[in-house]
Structure 1
Amino acid sequence: METPATLNPADAEKISALKSAVSTLNQISENEKSGFINLVSRYLSGEAQHVDWSKIKTPTDEVVVPYESLTPLSQDPAETKKLLDKLVVLKLNGGLGTTMGCTGPKSVIEVRNGLTFLDLIVIQIETLNKKYGCNVPLLLMNSFNTHDDTLKIVEKYSNSKIEIHTFNQSQYPRLVVEDFSPLPSKGNDGKDAWYPPGHGDVFPALFNSGKLDALLSQGKEYVFVANSDNLGAIVDLNILNHLIHNNNEYCMEVTPKTLADVKGGTLISYEGRVQLLEIAQVPDEHVNEFKSIEKFKIFNTNNIWVNLKAIKRLVEADTLKMEIIPNPKEVDGVKVLQLETAVGAAIRFFERAIGVNVPRSRFLPVKATSDLLLVQSDLYTLSDDGYVVRNPARTNPSNPSIELGPEFKKVANFLGRFKSIPSIVGLDSLKVTGDVWFGASIVLKGKVAFTANSGEKLEIPDGSVIADKNVSSPQDI
């Protein structure tokens, strides 16, 4: 692989040394080695894309299409089957549940009624396949962290009416900051020495695994990519129909920003193309403007639809040069760097790429136990076909804001502190601080805060109804 000509002599030397060190790492494939060297070369050449703030334009409705104005869907089930037979669903399954105190893939955390994220995804696709007599396969992109566990878990679906395929995203060595050498060649060759390079890697990983060609040979045309922890990311026939009718190679689902989403990436029109703008690319003096919900009204849900032939064309031509996200870490006291890319940043390389401004219900991620509280409460119900549906009794379009203290961070501790999940249909906000325990059948309304004084345990009795109160002792109830 050619080293970019823009490297200065010192950096060219670094790359040369890195190449010889990486060539001895027999844990990874030749594709992974060259992909990694390519990424580091681009990083050193300072290829970071700087945005000229004055050239940013707000996208028109042709570029970010309102959901209501998508191409109308035929009501004929035979037409729907034709659409679905062109589709593949791909869930990003590389994340571990470590932030929530779980071992193994995050997708096996129980969400509702004893069902995990993965169970719900399988039920949803199986229902579609049965209803329309189609064959929508499920692909799981694992990382080396989740691969072995996922293979064991997938066995339980062997009798399901659904084809499940797994493939791994790339495994790259972490870079030692001090001398730009790969960490595994320093004698540390455990899992900590490696990293998966972000979900932007989905395109080369799909290609290198052979899955892309296999799908194309089966007549598949579009892949719907989403995070496995986003309960709102279900197959949407209206979007698929619109893309096929309009030959859009790429579609990013965006949704209106609220104050909780100010850091999320947004879509802009830039030099005639639609492009993702992330907070990391924004000059310091414009950060507040970026965070305002007046100018940048939408954010990226990371629900992405992409044409498979277009992926093949761009990967083969090596033109998918997404912005590099440097992620500094520390392993056993050694400062390391991992370079990553994001799937949303690829939008500018595809032809007729669009955004679709979707309802908020399509963005329901579970990143922490506070999100788990929302989806396990009476704010949502679970339908037979695996969909998590919002309770129509909730009149406020936005969800309550929930802040739980560190005692609730791990799923096991969180579940142990609630005899049952409180009713929160009428809740605006909840803040819990300290050693608080909840009884059964509690109802919370308005703005509620619970604070256990240091060294004390605060128990909320069964059946309590608490509205617009700050509770720090049983007498406050």
Structure 2
Amino acid sequence: MLPNVNAEDISKLLDKLVVVKLNGGLGTSMGCKGPKSVISVRNDLTFLDLTMQQIQHLNNIYGVSVPLVLMNSFNTDDDTNKVLKKYANVRVQVHTFCQSQYLRINRETFTPLVKDLKANDHEAYYPPGHGNFYEAFYNSGLLQKFIDQGKEYIFLSNIDNLGATVDLNILNYIVNGSQKPEFVMEVTDKTRADVKGGTLIQYQSKLTLLEIAQVPKDYVDEFKSISKFRIFNTNNLWGNLAAIKRVIENNELEMEVIVNPKHLDRGVDVIQLETAAGAAIKSFRGACGINVPRSRFLPVKKSSDLLLLMSNLYDINFGNLTLSDDRSFPTTPLVKLGSQFDKVNDFLKRFQSIPDLIELDHLTVSGDVWFGRDVTLKGTVIIIANHGDRIDIPPGTLLENKIVSGNLRILDH
């Protein structure tokens, strides 16, 4: 709750807001089929479930109707719309629209992968990054629809970032602050785990997002330096709807194109031309970055991220994840899991139950490792099974500042 602001004023703020989630990604990198947003995170609740709970809670408390908008890709649209049917009785207006689809370009010939545009070849197309949001949102008709309803601002974030909840302080700053920025990017302090994250720089007297893909190879180490670039973009973005409309209609949207090379299963090297939503920052008046706590950046890109969110490190309340009060310091552990844990199904099989991580600082697991029930990990724990060996951590084990290696199998008799 905002200090010195009553619930009625908060309701007026929220009445101006639209929440947008980027929902174009598949869960393929984690071995899942379909949209990443339907991966179970905690207690069988998916990213989409938790997002719906967050918005419904806001709407119930303040008597408002903050709508949720999902930007799908052609990869996720059908599956997402099927899943949405289960929320028919939830007090959240949900809208979906599809981002553009572009033709993949053959890296050798610089020609489209397909010659016949009518061919039903999904692999020949790609969604062109979340920078496509502004034009796709405008073209969907939703932008004008929300403006007509009296909505004024959007909060845009990745659906797999469970820290990206509606922050009333930021909303209040945008609406009632003296600066009235048309665009706000949430940034947070960089750690050694975030060296690839895009950062804000001043370029030609404008605030600009610099992504690692835009950095020449000779300067990549400098870009990754924590001392030189201390913050990175969380991709939690706030924007003014009228300003987005103006920028699109006046053809003022400037975003650097990122060349993303890919190797397809069919053995062809292609290039994809993409843009990042945060790169639009230089197109808006009074745009700024706001340094936010790390708790607002909890993305799930790998099974190691999932392990943290599934553990007792986090409490869940109305879809909101907060670091447990039982943890004595506010940083999250650094977790590195080997390739055997990459796919979600394999990852889940290897844990009879998720270990107690409240006092964990660092965990490295490599090789064929299996965890029994009620395991507790504290301090720095390194578990390495050599090639051909297997390690079983017995039920009820406490590992504190331990290195376990070699071959360890405890068999029940």
- Tell whether the 8 Å contact from 1:73 to 1:238 is kept in structure 2 after alignment: no
**In the aligned structure 2, how far is the partner of 1:354 from the partner of 1:74?**
25
Match of 2:55 among 125, 129, 143: 125
The answer as to 2:166 corresponding to 1:235 is: yes
The corresponding residue for 2:303 is 369
> What letter corresponds to residue 145 of structure 2 in structure 1?
A
Match of 2:90 among 160, 164, 171: 160
The corresponding residue for 2:333 is 400
**In the aligned structure 2, how far is the partner of 1:224 from the partner of 1:218?**
17
**In the aligned structure 1, how far is the partner of 2:4 from the partner of 2:242?**
25
Structural mapping, 1:141-290, within 5 Å:
141-185=71-115, 189-245=120-176, 246-290=179-223
The corresponding residue for 1:57 is none
- Tell whether the 8 Å contact from 1:73 to 1:241 is kept in structure 2 after alignment: no
Highest Rg: 1 or 2?
A: 1
- SS of structure 2 residue aligned to 1:446: strand
- Tell whether the 8 Å contact from 2:357 to 2:376 is kept in structure 1 after alignment: yes
- 1:285 Cα deviation after fit: 4.4
> What letter corresponds to residue 211 of structure 1 in structure 2?
L
**In the aligned structure 2, how far is the partner of 1:441 from the partner of 1:177?**
51
- Tell whether the 8 Å contact from 1:329 to 1:335 is kept in structure 2 after alignment: yes
- 1:182 Cα deviation after fit: 1.8
**In the aligned structure 2, how far is the partner of 1:175 from the partner of 1:96?**
21
Structural mapping, 1:48-197, within 5 Å:
74-185=4-115, 189-197=120-128
- 1:282 Cα deviation after fit: 3.2
**In the aligned structure 2, how far is the partner of 1:397 from the partner of 1:232?**
14
Moved more, 174-183 or 256-265: 174-183
**In the aligned structure 2, how far is the partner of 1:261 from the partner of 1:462?**
34
User: What is the percent sequence identity of the aligned residues?
Assistant: 56
**In the aligned structure 1, how far is the partner of 2:277 from the partner of 2:4?**
31
| Distance verdict in 2 for CA 1:285–1:427, change over 3 Å | same
**In the aligned structure 1, how far is the partner of 2:305 from the partner of 2:109?**
41
TM-score normalised by the chain length of structure 2: 0.94
- Tell whether the 8 Å contact from 2:17 to 2:154 is kept in structure 1 after alignment: yes
> What letter corresponds to residue 353 of structure 1 in structure 2?
A
- SS of structure 1 residue aligned to 2:53: helix
- Tell whether the 8 Å contact from 1:74 to 1:80 is kept in structure 2 after alignment: no
The corresponding residue for 2:267 is 333
| Distance verdict in 2 for CA 1:159–1:250, change over 3 Å | same
| Distance verdict in 2 for CA 1:136–1:464, change over 3 Å | same
- Tell whether the 8 Å contact from 1:73 to 1:237 is kept in structure 2 after alignment: no
Match of 2:289 among 344, 351, 355: 355
Task: Pick the structure with more helix per residue.
Answer: 1
Residues 149-184 of structure 1, C-alpha deviations (whole Å, 9 max, x = no match): 000000111111110000000011111233332222
Residues 54-89 of structure 1, C-alpha deviations (whole Å, 9 max, x = no match): xxxxxxxxxxxxxxxxxx754211110010000000
The count of aligned residue pairs is 404
**In the aligned structure 2, how far is the partner of 1:334 from the partner of 1:412?**
29
